[in-house]
Amino acid sequence: MDGRTGLKRFEARLNGTVVEEIRQWNGHPELGKLLASLDAHTHSRTFFSTYAEAIIARHLLSCGCDLRFEVPTPAGKRCDFEVRCRGQRFFLHVKRADSLRPARRKPTVSSRLRYLERIARPYVVNVRWQEDLTDEQMHQFVTSAAEFVRRSRVGDELAVADDDGRALGGVRIAAPCEGTHVRLEIDPPTGIGDDVPRIQKLMRKAYQQFMPRATNVILIGTTRPDAGDDVETALLGSHIERWDALPPRGRRIAHGRASDGLWHDGQLPESMAAGWFCFAPEDDAVQSSVWIRPGAPLEPPMKSLLAELFERR
């Protein structure tokens, strides 16, 4: 049996500078407990979930925050951190949304697929396709996708198959965008929108751990550097076309959000702010974004602090 501690066991997959700083937490009254927890884990899933907490703790320390780790609530739950900074206090709940899957080779984007970008519709279009398509199958996929994009609305999705019923790929009108033409986004092979339900499940779990009568912030980590949009969708809802609203100048259609967001219609009423960060264990910096609930009764100093700590860098 491998007798190495967690940090030693997994250090080849971590940033060396970050690991050395974390090791300096030995003896720290609060973060020493986080270091001990890291070293106690021998399975990658639990280790990297705790390591996500550690890199956020390191980030907050670098911003001048004081931290308490695993703060108990009256309901018998625990908040990952109590954060004090600039005269403000909030409780932070860090969740990792996906495991560290082996890196996939980035699919080669066929020149045929670029044809979709010539369509004069101001939409973000998610596409995914089987990587072993023949030239004829890719032509069939692009032809079907182009017809779909020309006539569809935000939120519509199409699964494309060949004449024998073999799946070729999928297309989804994800959101409006600036400009006049289609903007392509390549989705992972797991499917379009698969991450949003998992993110919402983690947010509901974090909500059960909230400290009552306090500001609580949920922070979701993902290995995908473009998954901030999924967190935003989980909170605010899917993009939809709004025929009951006036479109902005220069547009024929107004857009809004569907009712599937966690902040819709008074759901999770104590949740006022949530964020995303890119969980990249090999990096030494944190890329993040934060959202404030529309109409949230947060004072300007708290809003400013959250933006300073978690806005995308």
In total, how many domains does the chain have? 2
Give the per-residue pLDDT at 15. 95
- pLDDT tens-digit map of 169-205: 899 888 888 889 998 887 654 444 457 889 999 999 9
The answer to whether the pTM exceeds 0.85 is no
Distance of CA 206 to the CA centre of its chain: 15
Distance of CA 126 to the CA centre of its chain: 16
State yes or no: pLDDT of 143 exceeds 50.
yes
Count other C-beta atoms under 10 Å from residue 136's C-beta. 9
Give the per-residue pLDDT at 248. 54
Query: Based on the domain organization, do 11 and 92 belong to the same domain?
Result: yes
Query: Based on the domain organization, do 219 and 306 belong to the same domain?
Result: yes
Query: Based on the domain organization, do 129 and 178 belong to the same domain?
Result: yes
State yes or no: pLDDT of 138 exceeds 70.
yes
Give the per-residue pLDDT at 212. 97
Across the chain, what does the average pLDDT equal?
86
How would you write 138-178 as a 3-class SS string? HHHHHHHHHHHHHHCCCCCEEEEECCCCCEEEEEEEEEECC
* CATH code for the domain in which residue 157 is found: 3.10.330
Give the per-residue pLDDT at 251. 53
Residue 48 maps to a domain: yes
Query: Based on the domain organization, do 210 and 306 belong to the same domain?
Result: yes
Query: Based on the domain organization, do 130 and 219 belong to the same domain?
Result: no
Task: Kindly state the percentage of the chain with pLDDT values over 70.
Answer: 85
Query: Based on the domain organization, do 220 and 81 belong to the same domain?
Result: yes
Mean pLDDT value across residues 149-169 = 87
Query: Based on the domain organization, do 91 and 40 belong to the same domain?
Result: yes
Query: Based on the domain organization, do 10 and 147 belong to the same domain?
Result: no
Q: How confident is the model at residue 80 (pLDDT cuts 50, 70, 90)?
A: very high
Residue 239 near residue 262 (C-beta atoms within 8 A)? no
Range of the domain at 209: 6-101+198-240+261-310
Residue 37 maps to a domain: yes
Residue 107 maps to a domain: no
- pLDDT tens-digit map of 251-307: 555 446 667 889 998 999 999 999 999 999 999 999 999 999 999 999 999 999 999
H/E stretch holding 18? helix 16-23
Q: Is 275 helix (H, G, I), strand (E, B) or coil?
A: strand
